[in-house]
Amino acid sequence: MIQFHDLEKQYAHIKKEILDKIEEVIASRVFIQGKYAALFEETFSRMQGAAACAGCSSGTAAISLALEALGVGDGDEVITTPFTFIATAEAVRHAQAIPVFADIDPETLNIDPARVEPSISTSSRALLPVHLYGNPADMDALSALASRFGLVMVEDCCQAHLATFNSRPVGTFGNAGAFSFYPGKNLGAFGDAGAVVSESPELINKIKMLLDHGRTEKYLHETVGYNHRMDGIQAGVLLVKMKYLEEWTKKREKLAGLYKELLGKNPAVRIPRVHEKARAVYHLFVVLVENRDQVAERLREKGIATSVHYPVPLHLQPAFSFLGYKKGDFPCSEQAAERVLSLPMYPELTEEEVRTVCAELNRIIK
Ligand SMILES: *Cc1c(COP(=O)(O)O)cnc(C)c1O
């Protein structure tokens, strides 16, 4: 069986280091925030080329904290993509704001800057692009739109650790970048964790206050905040794994290159385009095919696991029915949702396995 994910293989490589670090954290009894989280923040902001970082409890919390700290709130509209994981738009609701969707570019599957402008209203306050699958959105065009219309921008970088645009790390274009360390992400903790990066240390300080009960002193609370803090053990795990992230990312890029070489000539398999200025980090390797569910089933029969990210675009989710969207509103997202198929992708996947996947796929669809 070729697995879709294989966290066991990764763990086997770093087991001793991880267990030593966890023991160290337990011995220090710094379970919440504290020195490991601070060291994580320092290391992660350096790695992502950002001025400052706030570790937190999840990627979802990172997005809503960033929006709230930027003053986005009740009734404000936040323009985002309908073709993403639910958390992107859910976080907008957590900040009391309203998600407004703009359709994707059918070639990159990221929010289409040309479709953002028609979605802007007098209530628009923020842009929330997603670097889907680790493939950076067009940050030149989006940054220009944000400054032209006076919008703040939060980048959803939850799938895009180490991705760059114009050689600049994602998360540093907008006012803030939100990251997830959900275990299956390119950099994954052993539980939930997240972070916000920003070029503004003031914004990060505000986020740090919000995520720790709005506190300015031990028992003095400036505002009604949250418990969205980072655990010491998660910070310790991330400190170990960060040392390997560039190496793991290079392996993903190499495997993606092989996939492209072996599938690129098949006219029935479409591969999302990466912007010429971007470094994509392939959190997922996604292709678009007709009759996706049958293709997935035939691959499964051949012992190849696949997945779908994501089968239902957000404007058609029951959770967002109150927004009043209907089928047909975002045709590019709807078509993508019917066709996307995620193939196995993780650093420990072998080239041999990629060749097997491609050979089967090329046999199934010609
Ligand atoms: C994983 C993810 C999130 C949410 O992150 P959590 O840490 O699971 O809360 C948000 N947006 C995208 C695009 C994601 O992939």
What is the pLDDT averaged over residues 10-18?
A: 96
Q: How far does the centroid of ligand 1 lie from the alpha carbon of residue 265, in Å? A: 33
Band (275; pLDDT cuts 50, 70, 90): very high
Band (138; pLDDT cuts 50, 70, 90): very high
Q: Which of 159, 161, 180 to mutate to test the pocket of ligand 1 (most atoms within 8 A of CB)?
A: 180
Pairwise CA distance, residues 142 & 116, whole Å:
9
Nearest to 141 by CA among 196, 199, 180, 102: 102
What pLDDT score was predicted for residue 97?
98
Q: CA distances (Å), 273 to each of 15, 175, 193, 250, in order?
A: 36, 26, 30, 19
What pLDDT score was predicted for residue 74?
96
Pairwise CA distance, residues 174 & 166, whole Å:
14
What pLDDT score was predicted for residue 147?
98
For residue 221, is pLDDT > 90? yes
Q: Which of 5, 56, 58, 60 to mutate to test the pocket of ligand 1 (most atoms within 8 A of CB)?
A: 60
Pairwise CA distance, residues 90 & 99, whole Å:
8
What pLDDT score was predicted for residue 359?
98
Pocket lining for ligand 1, CB < 6 angstroms: 58-60, 84-85, 87-88, 130, 156, 158-159, 180, 182, 192, 194
What pLDDT score was predicted for residue 364?
97
For 144-169, write each residue's pLDDT tens digit: 999 999 999 999 999 999 999 999 99
Q: How far does the centroid of ligand 1 lie from the alpha carbon of residue 188, in Å? A: 11
For 227-274, write each residue's pLDDT tens digit: 999 999 999 999 999 999 999 999 999 999 999 999 999 999 999 999
Band (302; pLDDT cuts 50, 70, 90): very high
Band (366; pLDDT cuts 50, 70, 90): confident
Question: Quick one: which atom of ligand 1 is closest to the CA of 132?
Answer: 13
What is the pLDDT averaged over residues 14-24?
A: 98
For residue 297, is pLDDT > 90? yes
The pTM is what?
Answer: 0.98
Q: CA distances (Å), 64 to each of 94, 146, 243, 246, 321, in order?
A: 6, 19, 28, 28, 21
DSSP secondary structure code for residue 270 in this structure: B
For 100-118, write each residue's pLDDT tens digit: 999 999 999 999 999 999 9
For residue 293, is pLDDT > 90? yes
Output the average pLDDT for the chain: 97
3-state secondary structure of 364: helix
Instruction: Give percent above pLDDT 90 in the chain.
Output: 99
For 32-55, write each residue's pLDDT tens digit: 999 999 999 999 999 999 999 999
Band (336; pLDDT cuts 50, 70, 90): very high
Q: How far does the centroid of ligand 1 lie from the alpha carbon of residue 180, in Å? A: 5
Pairwise CA distance, residues 357 & 188, whole Å:
25
